[in-house]
Amino acid sequence: ISFNGVDSSLSSLKNCQSYINTGMDIATHVALDLVESFNDVEDVNTMENVMLEYAAMDRELNHYMRAIEETVNQIKREKPENIPDLKNLVKEKFTALESTNSDSDLQRNEKYMYFKDQLKEMRKQWDIFCSDNDEAIEQIDEDIAVTQSQMNFICPITQMEMKRPVRNKVCGHIYEEDAILKIIQNKKQQKKKVRCPKIGCSHSDVKESDLMPDEALKRAIDSQNKQ
């Protein structure tokens, strides 16, 4: 049995998945724009619903591709004399996978989790910068808050203000992208692991795949510099 057509279809589905990922990235940027522009919470919640819809599409696509791959592997393994009904076999496996769906699946989607984390960080940064509009906060408290925030702008590697901050999703620490990637590359050539450069952190295996752009912090740094 030739599976060339199936392989081609799987390739097309993976392309569709990349479009979903792009859509989730755009939705995240729009939500951050809304927070930065002081839009209503309702508008931001709309973007969160969009993210959940994308996450559901991603889950469905993953299940369908998995059903196809498992069916193909089963046929290759069993080598039946007669050509089986691929469509029904895939449908059965897909239905079984979909029957296990729960809302918590969507909450665990990596891009959705990144979306929630970035919104939280964005609101935290903007609360600091906008505190001067709150008459209940004394000037000295505001100065301390801003100073603490500016300390978070400093890369633990370069000791300079970050331009392209990336967050380590394992330990949560943030570094200048070029600086941490350079360390990872050098250690890779030496076949050694990279310890997190943040003083006091016990994480001893920093990987490039664990680094995610911290768009919220970048926007906060840019905003502070404009001020």
Tens of pLDDT along the chain (227 residues) come to: 667 788 888 889 999 999 999 999 999 999 999 988 876 788 899 999 999 999 999 999 999 999 999 998 888 888 887 878 888 999 999 999 999 999 999 999 999 999 999 998 888 876 655 554 454 444 444 444 444 445 578 999 999 999 999 999 999 999 999 999 999 999 999 999 999 999 999 999 999 999 999 999 999 888 888 86
What is the pLDDT at residue 51?
A: 97
Q: Would you say 181 and 136 are in contact if contact means Cβ atoms under 8 Å apart?
A: no
Residue with tokens 């522009």: 37
pTM of the predicted protein model: 0.74
What is the pLDDT at residue 151?
A: 57
Spatial distance between the Cα atoms of 192 and 88, rounded to a whole number of angstroms: 49
Q: Would you say 106 and 59 are in contact if contact means Cβ atoms under 8 Å apart?
A: yes
Tokens standing for residue 5: 């057509």
Spatial distance between the Cα atoms of 75 and 80, rounded to a whole number of angstroms: 7
